[in-house]
């Protein structure tokens, strides 16, 4: 049970730090930290093989989204 609290606290800390950073590109590592914490807590809430698939799908989805935002901020191509 304490592991779930640790994941929740880490996510809240990263969300608070996102609000106070000015550079848009440096917000993305904190978004990745939120993705890690929520992916870990999905498996801790429900111990099921399907929730493992949900955690993997959620993490890959967040990584794809961060990749798209980062390449667009850098002036990249349409993806």
CB of 21 to other proteins, least distance (A): 10
| Residue 19 binding other proteins, by CB under 8 A | yes
| Residue 20 binding other proteins, by CB under 8 A | no
Greatest CA separation for the chain: 44
CB atoms within 10 A of CB 37: 20
Site for other proteins in 38-77 (CB under 8 A): 38-74, 76
Per-residue three-class SS string for 31-59: HHHHHHHHHHHHHHHCCCHHHHHHHHHHH
State the number of binding residues for other proteins (CB under 8 A): 74
Q: Which positions from 22 to 41 touch other proteins by CB under 8 A, shown as an x/- string?
A: -xxxxxxxxxxxxxxxxxxx
């Amino acid at each position: 049970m304490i592991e779930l609290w640790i994941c929740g606290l880490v996510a809240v800390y990263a969300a608070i730090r996102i609000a106070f950073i000015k550079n848009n590109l440096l917000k993305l590592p904190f978004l990745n930290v939120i993705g890690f914490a929520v992916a870990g807590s999905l498996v801790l809430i429900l111990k099921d093989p399907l929730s493992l698939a949900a955690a993997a799908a959620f993490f890959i989805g967040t990584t794809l989204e961060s990749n798209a935002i980062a390449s667009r901020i850098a002036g990249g191509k349409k993806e």
